Amino acid sequence: MNDLGDDFFRHVSWRARLAGGVLLVSVPGLAFFMIAQSDQSPPISETGVLGCYMNPRAPAITVEPGTIRLDQPELMPSAFEIRRDKRGFSLHVKAPISLRAEGEGYVFQRDAQGTGYFWRLLTVAKNGEVEQLENPQDFGSAFSVVAKDGADVIYRRVSADPCPAGVKGLT
């Protein structure tokens, strides 16, 4: 008799031990899988985010199928995809493009390093405030770009069409 465990299971068949082990692993695994699946919101359609987005203090952004174009000719367009994360939905802009303060506004710059940025998709609450998008049906035609100075720069869609060249924000 080595310890209480060996003595306790001495008369239990190997089949019963195997069945018990399978249950100990499968029941929590199934519960974890069900919880993970229940949190999956339906994906947001790319066509739902297409259009011209503006902010009064920053260059306009055109979201086209699979591409984001900035109203700064020196910056090449970037691929993007819509992703669900733990806080909601985001546009994952694949190029390392950041927003920095310049004068009274902001300009985009291509960073030397990086793998891109996540721009949070937003919904508009009844009081007019913007909030993180959690349900794709509530997309409020807005997203947030966090600038290098930490400011949340909110872009709002002004048209489903591409932005005209040379337009800077809303008046």
pLDDT per residue of the chain (171 residues) written in tens, 0 to 9? 455 556 666 777 878 778 777 777 777 777 666 665 555 555 678 888 999 999 999 999 999 999 999 999 899 999 999 988 887 889 999 999 999 999 999 999 999 887 889 999 998 877 878 888 887 778 888 999 999 999 999 999 999 898 887 655 543
* Cα(38)–Cα(52) distance, integer angstroms: 34
Q: Give the residue ranges of DSSP H helices in 3-110.
A: 4-8, 14-38
Q: Are 131 and 137 in contact, with CB atoms under 8 Å apart?
A: no
List, in sequence order, every residue forming a beta bridge with 120; answer none if it has no partner: 90, 144
- The tokens describing 122, both together, are 């937003």
* Cα(157)–Cα(64) distance, integer angstroms: 13
- The tokens describing 109, both together, are 């710059």
The gap from C-alpha 106 to its chain's centroid, in whole angstroms, comes to: 22
Q: Are 62 and 166 in contact, with CB atoms under 8 Å apart?
A: no
